[in-house]
Structure 1
Amino acid sequence: MLAKHRLASLLLPRLLQWLGQRSLPTLHRLGGAAGLATYWLASRYRQHLRSNLARALGREPTRKERHGAAKNAGRMMLELPWIWQQPLPRVLSQVLDVEGWEHLEAARAEGRPILALTPHIGCFEITSLYVGEHMPVTILYRPPKQTYVEPLLRAGRAQGAVSLAPADLSGVRRLIRAMRQGEMAGLLPDQAPGKGEGIWSPFFGKPAYTMTLAARLSQVDNAIVLFFWGERFSRRGWRIHVSPPTEAITGSLEERVHAINRNLESLILRCPTQYLWGYNRYKRPAGAEPPPQ
């Protein structure tokens, strides 16, 4: 096991560096092929993706939808080394369209704290980098388990006016401070939390252990919540979407958690084949109470 870890620590950084020097269309082609191959070779992954996508759609997904979701998962993985290693101006040149930017401008004009929620859909790495070219943004950051990848990841994410806050109490304080100082705070609201950091909340009709942090931050000084995501064009670049909630995020903490999940459902169904269905959104954290029946 130790020998495998050492081998990975030597080879993976070199592989990531090599991938980072390929063109984005090439990586999207390779990623699509790799994602589809993984779908057919890994039966558990295939079943997981298919059942989660069916639950969201309310019907059995078509072959095109299943394959599209698998290909986009592969594209997401292989575009990351390019985003992290290419010069920021070149990365941002691949943002080919922006939809809803006026919602962010209106929020800034109000002068209230702004909370950006970016789910695991499309290219979620590009959104903070793009926003960081226009205003300071602090995002929650959890170091990867593969420590030898962290320097590359940190350098890729902390560009422009983007700051990283650790995923602990000090990081939460930094997010709140940033919001109150006129900056934007951002995080992934559909990331499965650890024990004691979430509650069970319906997500496409099934209980999912959902973080309470996003709901708590939405309570900071009557914050404005906006949803950001990067729609991936086939073998090209991305379109940045900025959307206000389709359902108001108000009430108690629990009510806000449920409202955020319903907003995520609405957003995901706009582009279901670009959501990361292979992510185990319904897992039960060790030590957490079982989900309600």
Structure 2
Amino acid sequence: MPVVFRFFSVVPLWLLHALGAAMGWVAFAASPTYRRRFMANSARAGYRFAQVRAAVGHAGRMVAELPRLWLGAPLPCSVVGHACVDAAYAQGRGVVFLTPHQGCFELSAQAVARGWSASRGPITVLYRPARQAWLARVMETARNRPGMLAVPTTLAGVRQMIKALRRGEAVGLLPDQVPPEGQGQWAPFFGQNAYTMTLAARLAQQTGAAVVLVRCERLAWGRGFATYFEPLAQPLSADMTEALVQINQAMEHLIRQCPGQYLWGYGRYKQPRGEGAPAAGAPA
């Protein structure tokens, strides 16, 4: 498999995206469970299938482009909102970059590393080690690129993120990822309670770090990517419940800017084992 990964790392991006789009539609047609979840999640957000059908192909493109992202030469990526990031770093308390499962979210951290690591230090990102030994090695090598430091989803990894913020550096997270039992709270997401990680809010609250929203959009015909940065609309609340609502609303805001590249098939509303369901009558 590593040989296959290395082969695809030099394949032109337009061809990877064409193959990936086909893969996405095959998966959509072959899996009733995935198809139902895709349709239910997008409908919950108020979209008809015709409005988000492009997301089927983009899910496949996300998988197909990984070898290029992890092992290939840097891909073209324009940046919009450079001043917003400069202002966040200038506060001197570190920066928490938040992005949803949208577009090429893997490239978001690389864009930060390329633009700011030389002057502001590396960006630290969390990753969940793969079960397959060969893939775990590839992921660890690929994500520890110049200007990037990947740390595992363990207590030690979280401590490294806190230290990075206190040095005035940056960290990156996907706050719409369902956390393990005991590491989240129920909060509304597109009108339904979803188990939401508390880590992103805690990092910002404990260190005073600035919060910056980021999304990385694929351009058509393999022309590369565009990364958009913007500040959180309001300062993050010191109250955890309110902070999670803010973060989920921020993710909704990013997703609505490009719904055709969100992973609507992701199991965002699953209930972690051992975690009770949201209380009846809880706000949603």
Measured against the shorter chain, the TM-score band is: over 0.9
Using the TM superposition, give the Cα deviation of residue 283 of structure 1 relative to its aligned residue in structure 2, in angstroms.
Answer: 0.6
Q: Is the 8 A contact 1:113 1:220 kept in 2?
A: no
Partner SS for 1:30: helix
Within the candidate set 16, 24, 27, 1:38 is matched to 27
Tell me by how many angstroms 1:59 deviates. Answer: 4.3
In the TM superposition, what is the alpha-carbon distance from 1:265 to its structure 2 partner?
0.6
1:14 Cα deviation after fit: 3.4
1:126 matches 2:112: no
Q: Which amino acid aligns with 2:63?
A: M
Match of 2:226 among 206, 217, 239: 239
- Which of 165, 179, 193 is the aligned partner of 2:165? 179
Q: Which residue of 2 aligns with 1:72?
A: 58
1:3 — aligned with what? none
Quick one: which of 101, 123, 129 aligns to 2:82?
Answer: 101
> 1:67: Cα distance to partner?
2.6
Q: What residue identity is the alignment partner of 1:261?
A: N
Instruction: Provide the residue aligned with 1:5 in structure 2.
Output: none
Aligned to 2:13: 24
- Cα RMSD (Å): 1.4
Q: Which residue of 2 aligns with 1:211?
A: 197
Give the TM-score of the pair, scaled to structure 1: 0.89
Give the 5 Å matches for 1:257-276.
257-276=244-263
Report runs of 4+ in structure 1 exceeding 6 Å deviation.
none
Q: Structure 1, residues 237-259: CA drift from partner, whole Å, max 9, x if none?
A: 10011111134421311211111
Matched, 1:151 2:137: yes
Tell me, yes or no, if the aligned pair for 1:207 and 1:292 is still in contact at 8 Å. no
> How many residue pairs are counted as aligned between the two chains?
274
Task: Tell me if structure 1 keeps the 8 A contact 2:93–2:167.
Answer: no
Q: Which residue of 2 aligns with 1:7?
A: none
Question: In the superposition, relative to structure 1, how do residues 30 and 54 fare at CA in structure 2: closer, same or farther (>3 Å)?
Answer: same
Which blocks of at least 5 consecutive residues in structure 1 are unaligned? Answer: 1-11
User: What residue number does 1:4 align with?
Assistant: none
TM-aligned CA deviation for residue 179 of structure 1: 0.5
Deviates more, 1:268-277 or 1:250-259: 250-259
| Post-superposition CA distance 1:38-89 (Å, at most 9, x none) | 1122222111111111111x24332xx34301000000010011111113xx
Percent identity, aligned pairs only, is: 40
**C-alpha contact 1:35 1:74 (8 A) present in aligned 2:** yes
2:258 is aligned with what amino acid? C
Query: Contact 1:248–1:259 (CA<8 Å) still a contact in 2?
Result: no
What is the TM-score normalised by the length of structure 2?
0.92
SS at match of 1:269: helix
Residue type of the partner of 2:170? M
